[in-house]
A = this chain, B = another copy of it.
Amino acid sequence: MPLSLYSDEQYMREALKQARYALAEDEIPIGAVVVLDKRIIARAYNQTERLQDVTAHAEMLALTAAANHLGNKYLQECMLYVTVEPCVMCAGASAWAQVRRVVFGAPEPKFGYRRHGRLLHPKAEVVSGVLAAESEELMREFFAQKRK
């Protein structure tokens, strides 16, 4: 059976590409895309170092870009793909935007939102663990470089 053209894995691969751009710029390698009607309408990667701004997480930049694209701050029909479990800030932003489906890769036990309970929108569907190994490998690579 061929992989569906519109699978979670496919969109997560696009988010992983973004994460690799972050890695190449010495940023913590996290990437995100926003999907509407099977099309990617926003792509972003973590830029907290370049911008010297803690709010410049991949998810935040992607949500803002998606809202700019649509001219609407509510993203009720959108899906957010992100390579790592979102933090509290990004979970809160996706709740405000009413993102209807959040798909993430690697779990983040320390900085992920889940240890604080359900912070996403009450109606949001959540899928975790998609291509988690690829995402974790990027994170490992980043922190291994840093330790050198």
CB contacts (< 8 Å) of A72 on chain B: these are: 52
CB contacts (< 8 Å) of A96 on chain B: these are: 54-55, 87, 89
List A residues 86-142 near B (Cβ within 8 Å): 87-93, 95-97, 116-117, 119
Q: Is the interface of A mostly helix, strand, loop or mixed?
A: helix
* A7-15, A36-44, A63-71 - the one binding chain B: A63-71
Sorting the interface of chain A by its residue count into under 10, 10 to 19, 20 to 34 or 35 or more gives 20 to 34
Q: CA separation between A116 and B92, bound complex, in Å?
A: 11
Integer count of this chain's copies in the complex: 2
Contact B87 A67 (CB under 8 A): no
CB of A60 within 8 Å of the partner chain: yes
CB contacts (< 8 Å) of A71 on chain B: these are: 52
What are 17 A-B interface contacts by the 8 Å CB criterion?
A48-B73, A49-B73, A51-B73, A52-B71, A52-B73, A53-B68, A54-B63, A54-B67, A54-B73, A54-B74, A55-B60, A55-B63, A55-B96, A89-B91, A90-B92, A91-B92, A117-B117
Interface residues of A, Cβ cutoff 8 Å to B: 48-49, 51-55, 60, 63-64, 67-68, 71-74, 87-93, 95-97, 116-117, 119
Which 7 A-B pairs give the minimum distances between C-beta atoms?
A89-B92, A88-B92, A54-B96, A52-B73, A54-B97, A89-B93, A54-B73
